Chain A
Amino acid sequence: MRELTHRSITTFLMTLPLVIILVFFSIYPFVSLIKMSFSSFIVGKGYEYVGLKNVWRFIEDQRAWESIGRTFLYVFVSVSGEFVVGLGLALLVKGKFKGVIRTMVIIPMLVAPIAVGIIWRLMYDPVFGIINQILAKIGIQGKNWLADPQIALWSVIIVEIWQWTPFIFLILLAGLESLPKECYEGAKIDGASSWQTFVYFTIPLMSPIIIVALFFRTMECFKAFDKIWILTGGGPSDVTEIISIYIYRVSFRHNLLGYGAFLALIMVGFIVIYNLSYMGFLRRKI
């Protein structure tokens, strides 16, 4: 009994710093965010409680809804693209090219998003950019990659895919290389084609790993901001304005800090719902 009490105290003391950190850096800011969401910032006075005013504002705010729709499109296309390319690369590299090539493939992931934004902004430049220069060499008319409202969002998505495919690639490659060889040998003896092996063995065996990889990427992708801000600032017009950029504009350009907090809360809500449904799905699968 005495030993048990001693152990409890030790456990409590050991976890206390983490609890304090959690309270100060997660719980307190989150509670503040909720408080701010139902307030308005009045110049010279600070925050004043406004009840559900921000909720009604949100319901009527067409730009907010458009930016949410755009965010889902951005996340869906980016993560899908990263998955397809990442899986392809992992299958291609599996069992070979160890060392330098694998390291080179993951370089984009190691670059700061701001730097990625600057690099791609330069590459996309219609006058000096390397992309249009290469296209010109092969006789193709270059595009206004970031200034044409028809293609700007897709140009930004390409950058997202370029930077984060290595993350999915790494996870899937580790998964592929840990799959039991016996299954493949058995399938080969039974005369299964490569496609059949892929569909009936690789994908089902890899599904928990795939789900984890997609889970992390989707969550991160919802929070995208810095790269897009550097690339387009949400423009041209508002074609690349996803919800995080809209929240920034509302909060720090329009000085509507309370409404900005409410939008951030909505975003947190989306991510939480997404997480819960994903975790439920994950539990059923594994």
Chain B
Amino acid sequence: MISKSKKGLISLVLAVTILTTFSNFAMTQVKELHIAINKSPWLPAFEKLTKMYEGETGVKMVLHVFPFMGLYEKELAAVTTASKTYDLMNMNEIWGPFFYAGRYLTPLKEIDPEFTVPSHLMQFFWEGYWDDKVHYQAPTGVLYGIHVNGNIHLLQYREDKYKEAGLPTPPETWDDVLEAARKLFDPPNFYGYVIRGARGDPIFYNSMTIRHAYNGYMFRDPLKGDFTITVNDEKNVEAWEMYARNLNEYGPPGVGNIGQTEMMGLLASGRALQAIVVSAAFPHLDDPEFSAVPFKIQFAVPPKGRGGDHSSTVAGWTMVVPRFISDERKKAALDFLKWSITQKPQVEYTKMGGVPVSTTVFQSELMRDPKYRFLKATQDSIPYFSSMPLIPECAQIRDVMGLHLNRALIEEEGVRESLDKTAQEILEIMRGAGYKGVTIAPRS
């Protein structure tokens, strides 16, 4: 006969065993991870990276690929309807704050309290963080996401043409770039500099690198909560003159509708000799199938502006975990992110045509391979990473500014006029969104 206490003990052990078994079963239940992602030049490399993870862990990786303009709608619909479709969502920098402030995502620390960002991970201007108190992306904020592609702006220029013309390489300042553009301009065979001037995101994003290099920023000090609008100050005007007037003088026709594809086409055909392009373009510009000038384009830290410094705008895409999925799925999603930033996957990812996010790649053999010469420029650019001020209204601001910049480029508006109108519209957006005391900074 078994005593009552023994029976109780056996029942307890059985219960614990069953619970443990079931909870382990539940933990290993995540057999698939669904990722919403944009169609981009680096997507093939990311696809291969997920296959690598599949091979190592057996977790099936399902990519839901959307064009840039379709991804936001899908993600917004997913989070606002508490959908459980995606385990990970790749999120553009301009949408991030909207989702962070809306609490639609899971802080990574909530999934794993022990998780900290490894020191070898490049810091993309605090994208992925959100501080509710200052209502801004800030290191003091909560971490929501990790970059999976370290895309940044680099100056990409024809080193051979520079050398032929006796110009020093790499160009150190925007005035050097302008001088080279003037010297090398020989239309229709060669265009000295090409601007990505299409309305909206293209011109906004492409011009940000030069504006920041001239110390031209949108707000005075958003990290301290000072959203005084400075977008039309003299530094911005000077940068914008250089971009839309001086450099554009040596550009190809039809610049008002040039997007990333056209810009890369002009560089790859050998017609355009320099431009600010995302580093993710590197495999295409060296691919003989795509490029007439493989290995002739050199990469450099974007030049210094007058009175400013270098500035490399990050092309922020952050991978985030939605709020409404189960804890097991959240954990599985974070496991993938943790794995993806370790050295081996990062090196492989770079070999497959992706742009790494970990500095451990700079210690690898790839640094000696001319195929990956963009890595040196990327490494040198780290101290100069910059980004647009990321607040929930930034998509709206970007659209407004992208319209006026385009108008200035096609000379429908003057340089100063376009920035003044931008400032006025930003003021209306900020006031409409409830920012208190926002004004346009008086011109010095």
Are A147 and B396 in contact (CB-based, < 8 A)?
A: no
Q: How far is the CA of A90 from the CA of B25 in the complex (A)?
A: 69
Are A237 and B72 in contact (CB-based, < 8 A)?
A: no
Query: Does A188 touch B at the CB level, under 8 Å?
Result: no
Are B410 and A237 in contact (CB-based, < 8 A)?
A: yes
Q: Contact check: which of A44, A126, A237, A253 meets B412 at CB < 8 Å? A: A237
Residues in B whose Cβ lies below 8 Å from that of A254: 395-396, 399
Are B410 and A128 in contact (CB-based, < 8 A)?
A: no
Are B256 and A252 in contact (CB-based, < 8 A)?
A: no
Are B396 and A238 in contact (CB-based, < 8 A)?
A: no
Q: How far is the CA of A6 from the CA of B335 in the complex (A)?
A: 61
Stretch from A195-203, A227-235, A274-282 contacting the other chain: A227-235
Q: Which residue of A lies closest to B395 (CB)?
A: A253
Give the residues from 248 to 262 in chain A that come closer than 8 angstroms, CB to CB, to chain B.
Answer: 248-249, 252-256
Are B257 and A127 in contact (CB-based, < 8 A)?
A: no
Q: How far is the CA of A203 from the CA of B404 in the complex (A)?
A: 48
Query: Does B255 touch A at the CB level, under 8 Å?
Result: yes
Query: Does B342 touch A at the CB level, under 8 Å?
Result: no
Are A127 and B412 in contact (CB-based, < 8 A)?
A: no
Q: Contact check: which of B72, B257, B271 meets A146 at CB < 8 Å? A: B257
A255 and B101 in contact, given A46-B80, A229-B69 (Cβ under 8 angstroms): no
Query: Does A175 touch B at the CB level, under 8 Å?
Result: no
Q: Quote the shortest CB–CB distance from B364 to chain A (angstroms).
A: 38
Are A44 and B410 in contact (CB-based, < 8 A)?
A: no
Are A126 and B256 in contact (CB-based, < 8 A)?
A: no
Are B271 and A127 in contact (CB-based, < 8 A)?
A: yes
Q: How far is the CA of A46 from the CA of B262 in the complex (A)?
A: 39
Query: Does B365 touch A at the CB level, under 8 Å?
Result: no
What are 25 residue pairs bridging A and B, where the CB atoms are less than 8 Å apart in the complex?
A43-B392, A44-B103, A126-B253, A126-B254, A127-B252, A127-B254, A144-B257, A147-B197, A147-B410, A149-B412, A232-B198, A232-B257, A233-B199, A233-B259, A235-B199, A235-B257, A235-B403, A236-B407, A238-B199, A238-B403, A249-B399, A253-B396, A254-B396, A255-B392, A255-B396
Given contacts A126-B253, A238-B403, A253-B399, 19 further A-B contacts (CB under 8 A): A43-B102, A44-B103, A46-B80, A125-B262, A127-B253, A142-B253, A148-B254, A149-B410, A232-B199, A233-B259, A235-B403, A235-B406, A237-B403, A248-B69, A252-B76, A253-B395, A255-B392, A255-B396, A256-B396
B interface residues, Cβ below 8 angstroms from A: 69, 72-73, 76, 80, 98, 101-104, 188, 197-200, 252-259, 262, 265-266, 269, 271, 392-393, 395-396, 398-399, 403, 406-407, 410, 412
